[in-house]
Amino acid sequence: MVGHSDSAKVTSNLWGERWSKLVANVMGNGLSACTGLPGSEVLQSEPLRRFSTRLGSEAIRVGQAQGYQLEEILHLLPETIARAGEGDETAIRACDEQRFKDSKRTSSAQRPSMGQDMQKGRRTEIEFLNGFVVREGEKLGLACNANAALTDIVKRVERGELKPDPRHITELRMN
């Protein structure tokens, strides 16, 4: 019945599915929140798009280290995103191609939920998304520097110390 209003899938890989969904959220929510941009504008900016991929790559490597069998993320194999975030040019091209293709199916004004929360002055879920990836990575000895930086920036915007601005990311020198 759910399939009539949204997608539905039966799986025996619940943790792999959950972590894959987490990766997708990690890649877009916080960026929209701290930049003030809708998803399409984040995608159009090469530095923001590269940072998004790096966020996903770190999260994928943590999930893999935990032993999860990750599912497709944003219509891409997890390993493709992971390698793209690590600088593999072929993987970067594959990621960009798929993400631009998918962007044609959504409104250019679509804003991830955390970006909407920020606009409405609500507390964000950054600690439960990117912050969670950082904490899980620490347990495994994996540095998640991009996720840690984004978590800090979103919290500072949330507290009113910073205004949403793409430069928070583009000037990080982590891309």
pLDDT, mean of residues 133-159? 97
Mean pLDDT of the chain: 92
What global pTM score does this model have?
A: 0.91
**Rounded average pLDDT over 68-97:** 97
Residue-level pLDDT at 130: 98
Per-residue pLDDT, averaged over 106-130, amounts to 85
Q: How confident is the model over 145-170, as a mean pLDDT?
A: 96
Burial 72-82 (b: 16+ CB within 10 A, else e): ebbebbbebbb
pLDDT class of 9 with cuts at 50, 70, 90: confident
Higher per-residue confidence, 2 vs 113: 113
Examine the pLDDT at 75 and tell me if it is beyond 80.
yes
Give the confidence band of 79 by pLDDT, cuts at 50, 70, 90.
very high
pLDDT at 167: 96
In SS3 terms, the chain reads as: CHHHCCCCCCCCCHHHHHHHHHHHHHHHHHHHHHHCCCHHHHHHCHHHHHHHHHHHHHHHHHHHHCCCCCCCECCECHHHHHHHHCCCHHHHHHHHHHHHHHHCCCCCCCCCHHHHHHHCCCCCCHHHCHHHHHHHHHHHCCCCHHHHHHHHHHHHHHCCCCCCCCHHHHCCCCC
Give me the domains of the chain, ranges plus CATH numbers: 14-170 (1.10.1040.10)
